[in-house]
Amino acid sequence: MKVLLIENSRLYQLFLSDLFRRLGYQPVSVTSHKEALTALEKYSFRFVCMNLLLDGKDAIDFIPEVHRHNPGATVILLTSDRASGIRMQAVKAGATEVIYKSSMSNIIRRLRILLGGAPKDHVLTKNRRVLYVEDSPTQAAVISAILEQDMRLDIEHCGSAETAIRWLGDRKYDLVITDVVLQGEASGLWLLRRLRRLDNENAQLPVLTLTGHDDPARRLELLRAGTTDYVTKPVLKEELIIRVNNLISNKLLMDKVLEQQAQMQHLAMRDELTGCYNRRGFRELSEKYISQASRQKRPLSLALIDLDHFKQINDRYGHDAGDEVLRALGKLLRRKSRKSDVVARWGGEEFVLLLPDTDRDQGLCAVRKLGALVAAMDTGSNFSVTASIGITAISPPQKPDLDTMITCADKALYRAKDAGRNCVVYRDCPLPAGNLPVRKG
């Protein structure tokens, strides 16, 4: 069954597409009203999920158009705008529901309800690891049988909160199920509170608590302690399966969202053509090394590398050949630099190289080797290239400053160009010394 997703945010498009697939639907993703109309004319949709703002216009006006092509379709509107009246306007226009982009978990929960939840066994809980904390052998046997046989989960069982928190220190799980009342000095509530204070990824694990009391005070106590959900005893098999499946599947979806966010962050910091960092990525990473050099009183070098006569390459051989040269140079700089070095495309045919823990002489030696490698580089065509390099360095007690070092290296680069290109020019960086401790005596 197809779902039409009208969303211009790349992050939400990735997230929602993956969510729909996991729920057993085939998403058709578009980013504009024009693309949406084409999809509506081509396919029949049971669900249409759309962002409130698209093409700079209010998507509420587009809802009747959706119903004209797909009468009876469920229309779900996503928005970050909590202005009063939006929900009422959307419902009057024919929307079934308005979901606020307050959190990924809220979107997951609401869409699962609207789309009817996940088909049986669609969310792959098989072999997912669950830590089950229960001191009653009889109760443990009953619950473990349901989890292992009916849901095919990988269960690790222990009888005390102390053992559980020790395991959570160095083992990975997808869910914790714990009874409230446990033998020993520590209870399930103690486990919940300690779990949420862990300094590893398990601190965010979903927790299903089993309790024999269903009074409001106990429910509030469990929620304040950090439980994600709870089941009252005696435990109904069907309820347990539904709640466990929901908790694990939501975690898997959130893991996917975090993974996608990390991928998008990585892409946002990289230059697509060369694979090197872009300006944003360079500045973000460089700050760490600038701070480290200042704190540890270590030397630091920075170089600007500019290809000679690059415009002539583009004019004579074409931009494809020019792009291939830039790719080759980016690959060379990344391969020949140390892991601690930061290599970025600064703009056009210019690259910047930050060399932590590298003084003047070491920096000059390194970039001279790079200059020779550039001259011998395989460009993929029947011509060779050279590079001009400007470099600067600071040493203690100088306090490093990124912008000042870039300006200084840029002036050195201009001198290299004036000197005939294909050479390295060093320029001292006029940064002042930091505050030095006053010597006594």
Omega prior to 119 cis, within 30 of 0? no
Q: Three-state DSSP class for 323?
A: helix
For residue 381 the two structure tokens come to 């065509």
**CB half-sphere exposure, 292, CA atoms < 13 A:** 13
CA distance 273 to 334: 13
Residue closest to 52 by CA, chosen among 9, 17, 106, 115: 9
Element (H, E) at 264: helix 237-268
CB count within 10 Å of CB 157 equals 18
Cβ(413)–Cβ(389) below 8 Å: yes
Q: Which amino acid is at 432?
A: P
Q: Are strands 154-158 and 350-356 parallel, antiparallel or unpaired?
A: unpaired
Cβ(252)–Cβ(317) below 8 Å: no
> Which entry of 134, 156, 349, 350 is annotated as an active-site residue?
349
Residue closest to 128 by CA, chosen among 148, 145, 142, 108: 148
**CB half-sphere exposure, 115, CA atoms < 13 A:** 29
Q: Based on the residue annotation, tell me whether 349 is a catalytic residue of this protein.
A: yes
Catalytic residues: 349
